Amino acid sequence: MLGLLVVAAHVAGPFLMANERRVGWQLSVAAAAAPIVMNFVAYSQIGASWRLRIIGSSLISFAFDVAVLALLLHTQSREHQRIWYH
């Protein structure tokens, strides 16, 4: 069920951002952070090592998740959403 909410957030966030809604940016940030948090929680429950808890099973997937989150939280992105979004 949580996975479906994350997928819906990945769809709704950019749509709302394209229509200049601030909630779209906030939803996109939450959707970008969700895979990192979900991996950490899932691997913590099975008692995995810290490397596996933070990175997960795929380094490339983790790198893309962090890159998307970093681009959304970048100073220029935050300034743009503060000025232009309703």
What confidence score (pLDDT) does residue 22 get?
A: 87
Helix (H, G, I), strand (E, B) or coil at 8: helix
pLDDT at 14: 92
Alpha-carbon distance of 22 to 64, in angstroms, equals: 23
Low-confidence stretches of the chain (pLDDT < 50) are: none
What confidence score (pLDDT) does residue 86 get? 67
Confidence (pLDDT) at 6: 93
Give residue for tokens 């790198």: 63
Enter the pTM of the model.
Answer: 0.83
Q: Are 15 and 24 in contact (CB under 8 A)?
A: yes
